[in-house]
Chains A and B, each alone.
Chain A
Amino acid sequence: MADTTMQSHAWLIPVFPLVSMAAIMLFTHRRRALSAGLSIAAVSLSFLYAWAMAFAVWGNPEAQRFSLEWLDLGASMHLPMGILVDGLTAMMLIVVTTVALMVHIYSLGYMHGDTRYSRYYAYLSLFTMAMLTLVLADNFVLMFVAWELVGLASYLLIGFWFEKQSASDAGKKAFITTRLGDLGFIIGMLMLYAGCGSLTFEGVFGAVKSGALGGAMLTTAAIFLFGGAIGKSAQFPLHVWLPDAMEGPTPVSALIHAATMVVAGVYLVARSLTIFISAETAGMFVAWIGIITSLMAASIGLVQNDIKRVLAYSTVSQLGYMIMALGLQGFTAGTFHLMTHAFFKSLLFLGAGSVIHAVHTNDIREMGGLHSKMKTTSVTFLIAALAIAGIFPLSGFWSKDEIVAATLGHPAFTVLSLIVAFMTAFYMFRLYFLTFTGTPRDQHKFDHAHESPKVMTYPLIFLAFLSVVSGWIGLPWLHHGFSAVVFHEEPHHAEFHYGLAAISLLVGLSGMALAYLMYYRRRINPDRLAASLPGIYNTLLNKYYVDDAYTLLFIQPYYAVCRGWFWFDQHIIDGVVNAAGRFGILWGKSQRWFDETFVDGAVNGVGWLTRGFGGTVRYLQTGSLQNYAFVVFAALVILWILQ
């Protein structure tokens, strides 16, 4: 029995950022430096713990579960809460804490001087806590809770600069769009619960393995469950929120919308691999959604001019890539790419943030020639671009190759994934050449550009290092190296395929070469190419009109219905209320008339009577004392006579 102290205390990992969030919110929000320090200290602790535990898990890859009773309603419902520590969790913890730490440090520079600095760090802590909880959960319920919390943090951070209308709209769009997917998640969860009476991973997967849960029920549940992943991981048709989410601060895009939260969907599928192995139809559905998303997003990325949007579409495309691999049962490939992608994509975003920080624009048409001004950013960005393009021996090469290998046996997927690889290499190098090479297209902005402070470049360097080496744990001669740890219970490893590797490398290089010809040597004029294919160009530029279709199909009808109800409310409901009001006024008026005429009449009549009588008898009071005295004596005399 190996020592599992590290694993059993893994719940501490999300507790650190939770504490820092609470501390910032409650006590230190007025002291900016202290807030940032607290947040970074907390995530550093999580980072150290996660790495230390990863080594412990590596030595003892047996999955460890630690759970507590949470909700026990007798026979009807039983929900324990707990953590599950295995290779997959450890890998996710490393990815999340590493990227989170880098982003925390980088934000010191990027967010410097922002008015809501402390709040920003509180939100980052909240997100980190939620994401770590998500990957540690040992059941669907806790996972769902964390899933919603990361959605909340994402919403808060996308709309962080809420003074900007577009940012607050983007936050709402992200929140509402992902909520659609979450509905699927809930339905899937309920179906699983109905099928096997448990929501712990252990219970559900056990039931699936034993055959207690299967058939159409399992397939449907799996597809609904995957709905959550479609929302969170921005898959077609719910991918529309992610590009808009770029309104948030760039470090946030790097952390949430590139490396961690958006891979939650991938993680969900990877975690539920038992389900997707059994439900093959659902697996194929997943794979098709993945490749469609991937192709679509990559092709949109070819023509976008906003540096962050290109990266956002790249993220969507790469997520689709991972999802496709998972759907084709390439679980190792998908999770492997998840990890390498987290490093190089967060690096790309942080590099883009560094560029934006320098030139204060997102538009690559106003950049150019920045290599001479910001060497560190340029070089690290180039490394990341090479990694994502799948160039040997960087991390992307190994993971992408595993994905392509996973498509073997499905020729359609193989071809499409190679096309995606080609487009990926092309748009990344288009971005690189337009941003960092050539002549400056906006001299004024170029003159003011400068390299970012060290607090921003050091995270870039560290991530660049990881982008190079993180793929090496998948080296073919380390047999089952990655999968043995990540999927200890079900090792699943696509053989490294030298032929495919060569082809995919070639495809990547040719994508780069085309970008080189078009945007560096200018042998092919991209504008003329766009002009010669107006239909395709405009379709891509308008993102396949998906947003417009949603506006037309859902948003405008919704508004129309709303207007209808508004009319109903204004005229019918308000009409009833107003009629009641008018009746009240009328009734009141009649009552007033009665009151004024009869009640007041009686009162006034009494007063009038008294007054009239008084007016008559007042003449008796002459005011002359002699008259009074005369009356007294006269009365005396009369009384005397009468006596």
Chain B
Amino acid sequence: MMEIGLSHYLTLAAVVFCVGVYGMLTRRNAIGVLMSVELMFNAVNVTLVAFARYVTPATVTGQVVAIFTIAVAAAEATVALAIVLLIYQHHRGINVDQVNFMKW
């Protein structure tokens, strides 16, 4: 059985990140976009923890940053969901194609 190493984690993170990017760019539903963004966050978290485990095992800096990221992502999610709610109240829908009033 092959030993699971740093490259596996990074590959996983890259795959998840790309899925997130793809979802973010293509989803029409705002909730879907948010979920894609969460995927990108978590892909980054995976790389952070993996680097911390394999490159600097003596310290826990990477883990700490990951926890910070999770906290910030949670805060971001609340703000984003609040915006989505308001958009819903305003447009009777959460289709991001309709949300083009920031233009001009």
Cβ-defined contact, B104 with A633, below 8 A: no
Cβ-defined contact, B25 with A629, below 8 A: yes
In the bound complex, what is the Cα–Cα distance between A623 and B96 (angstroms)? 10
Interface string of A622-633 (1 = CB under 8 A from B): 111110011001
Whether a CB of chain B sits under 8 angstroms from the CB of A76 is no
Contact of A618 among B21, B26, B101, B104 (CB under 8 A): B104
Known A629-B24, A633-B21; judge A622-B100 contact (CB<8 A): yes
Instruction: Identify which of residues 48-104 in chain B touch chain A, using a CB-to-CB cut-off of 8 Å.
Output: 96-97, 99-104
Cβ-defined contact, A623 with B25, below 8 A: no
Cβ-defined contact, A623 with B97, below 8 A: no
Which residues of the partner chain A approach B101 to less than 8 Å between Cβ atoms? 623
Which residues of the partner chain B approach A624 to less than 8 Å between Cβ atoms? 96-97, 99-100
Name the CB-closest residue of A to B102: A623
Known A633-B21, A633-B25; judge A626-B96 contact (CB<8 A): yes
Whether a CB of chain A sits under 8 angstroms from the CB of B16 is no
Which residues of the partner chain A approach B25 to less than 8 Å between Cβ atoms? 626, 629-630, 633
Tell me the total A-B contact number using a CB cutoff of 8 A: 28
Which residues of the partner chain A approach B99 to less than 8 Å between Cβ atoms? 623-625
Whether a CB of chain B sits under 8 angstroms from the CB of A621 is yes
In the bound complex, what is the Cα–Cα distance between A624 and B96 (angstroms)? 7
Whether a CB of chain A sits under 8 angstroms from the CB of B33 is yes
In the bound complex, what is the Cα–Cα distance between A622 and B21 (angstroms)? 19
Which residues of the partner chain B approach A622 to less than 8 Å between Cβ atoms? 100, 103
In the bound complex, what is the Cα–Cα distance between A489 and B79 (angstroms)? 125
In the bound complex, what is the Cα–Cα distance between A247 and B63 (angstroms)? 120
Which residues of the partner chain A approach B104 to less than 8 Å between Cβ atoms? 618, 621, 623
Name the CB-closest residue of A to B98: A624
Which residues of the partner chain B approach A626 to less than 8 Å between Cβ atoms? 24-26, 33, 96
Question: In the complex, how many residues of chain B place their beta carbon closer than 8 angstroms to a beta carbon of chain A?
Answer: 13
In the bound complex, what is the Cα–Cα distance between A633 and B25 (angstroms)? 10
Question: In the complex, how many residues of chain A place their beta carbon closer than 8 angstroms to a beta carbon of chain B?
Answer: 10
Name the CB-closest residue of A to B28: A626
Name the CB-closest residue of B to A614: B104
Name the CB-closest residue of A to B30: A625
Which residues of the partner chain A approach B102 to less than 8 Å between Cβ atoms? 623, 625
In the bound complex, what is the Cα–Cα distance between A626 and B24 (angstroms)? 7
Q: How far is the CB of A556 from chain B (nearest CB, A)?
A: 85
Which residues of the partner chain A approach B103 to less than 8 Å between Cβ atoms? 621-623
In the bound complex, what is the Cα–Cα distance between A623 and B21 (angstroms)? 19
Which residues of the partner chain A approach B26 to less than 8 Å between Cβ atoms? 626
Which residues of the partner chain A approach B21 to less than 8 Å between Cβ atoms? 633
Which residues of the partner chain B approach A618 to less than 8 Å between Cβ atoms? 104
Instruction: Identify which of residues 18-42 in chain B touch chain A, using a CB-to-CB cut-off of 8 Å.
Output: 21, 24-26, 33
Q: How far is the CB of B40 from chain A (nearest CB, A)?
A: 10
Q: How far is the CB of A423 from chain B (nearest CB, A)?
A: 111
In the bound complex, what is the Cα–Cα distance between A625 and B101 (angstroms)? 11
Which residues of the partner chain B approach A633 to less than 8 Å between Cβ atoms? 21, 25
Q: How far is the CB of B99 from chain A (nearest CB, A)?
A: 7
Instruction: Identify which of residues 586-625 in chain A touch chain B, using a CB-to-CB cut-off of 8 Å.
Output: 618, 621-625
Name the CB-closest residue of A to B100: A623
In the bound complex, what is the Cα–Cα distance between A633 and B22 (angstroms)? 10
In the bound complex, what is the Cα–Cα distance between A546 and B23 (angstroms)? 122
Interface string of A393-406 (1 = CB under 8 A from B): 00000000000000
Residue of A621, A625, A629 with highest tally of chain B CB at under 10 A:
A625
In the bound complex, what is the Cα–Cα distance between A621 and B102 (angstroms)? 9
Name the CB-closest residue of B to A636: B21
Which residues of the partner chain A approach B96 to less than 8 Å between Cβ atoms? 624-626
In the bound complex, what is the Cα–Cα distance between A626 and B22 (angstroms)? 10
In the bound complex, what is the Cα–Cα distance between A321 and B26 (angstroms)? 132
Which residues of the partner chain B approach A630 to less than 8 Å between Cβ atoms? 25
Q: How far is the CB of B91 from chain A (nearest CB, A)?
A: 14
Interface string of A335-371 (1 = CB under 8 A from B): 0000000000000000000000000000000000000
In the bound complex, what is the Cα–Cα distance between A36 and B97 (angstroms)? 101
Residue of B26, B33, B96, B103 with highest tally of chain A CB at under 10 A:
B103
Name the CB-closest residue of A to B26: A626
Which residues of the partner chain A approach B97 to less than 8 Å between Cβ atoms? 624
Which residues of the partner chain A approach B24 to less than 8 Å between Cβ atoms? 626, 629
Q: How far is the CB of A204 from chain B (nearest CB, A)?
A: 103
In the bound complex, what is the Cα–Cα distance between A626 and B101 (angstroms)? 14
Q: How far is the CB of B39 from chain A (nearest CB, A)?
A: 14
Which residues of the partner chain A approach B100 to less than 8 Å between Cβ atoms? 622-624
Q: How far is the CB of A628 from chain B (nearest CB, A)?
A: 10
In the bound complex, what is the Cα–Cα distance between A630 and B101 (angstroms)? 19
Q: How far is the CB of A144 from chain B (nearest CB, A)?
A: 92
Which residues of the partner chain B approach A629 to less than 8 Å between Cβ atoms? 24-25
Instruction: Identify which of residues 157-214 in chain A touch chain B, using a CB-to-CB cut-off of 8 Å.
Output: none
Q: How far is the CB of A538 from chain B (nearest CB, A)?
A: 102
In the bound complex, what is the Cα–Cα distance between A493 and B33 (angstroms)? 140
Name the CB-closest residue of B to A634: B25
Q: How far is the CB of A613 from chain B (nearest CB, A)?
A: 15
In the bound complex, what is the Cα–Cα distance between A492 and B45 (angstroms)? 144
In the bound complex, what is the Cα–Cα distance between A630 and B104 (angstroms)? 19
In the bound complex, what is the Cα–Cα distance between A629 and B97 (angstroms)? 14
In the bound complex, what is the Cα–Cα distance between A625 and B83 (angstroms)? 14
In the bound complex, what is the Cα–Cα distance between A624 and B24 (angstroms)? 12
In the bound complex, what is the Cα–Cα distance between A35 and B104 (angstroms)? 86
In the bound complex, what is the Cα–Cα distance between A158 and B7 (angstroms)? 127
In the bound complex, what is the Cα–Cα distance between A629 and B104 (angstroms)? 18
Residue of A623, A626, A629 with highest tally of chain B CB at under 10 A:
A626
In the bound complex, what is the Cα–Cα distance between A624 and B30 (angstroms)? 12
In the bound complex, what is the Cα–Cα distance between A630 and B25 (angstroms)? 6
Q: How far is the CB of A614 from chain B (nearest CB, A)?
A: 10
Q: How far is the CB of A344 from chain B (nearest CB, A)?
A: 108
In the bound complex, what is the Cα–Cα distance between A287 and B86 (angstroms)? 120
In the bound complex, what is the Cα–Cα distance between A623 and B102 (angstroms)? 5
In the bound complex, what is the Cα–Cα distance between A622 and B104 (angstroms)? 8
Q: How far is the CB of A616 from chain B (nearest CB, A)?
A: 13
In the bound complex, what is the Cα–Cα distance between A621 and B100 (angstroms)? 10
What are 11 of the A-B contact pairs (CB < 8 Å)?
A618-B104, A621-B104, A622-B100, A623-B99, A623-B100, A624-B99, A624-B100, A626-B26, A629-B24, A630-B25, A633-B25
A624-B99, A626-B26, A629-B24 known; 7 new pairs, CB 8 Å cut-off, are A618-B104, A622-B103, A623-B99, A623-B103, A625-B96, A626-B24, A626-B33
Interface on B for A, CB 8 Å cutoff?
A: 21, 24-26, 33, 96-97, 99-104
A-B pairs with the 5 shortest C-beta distances? A623-B103, A623-B100, A623-B102, A630-B25, A626-B25
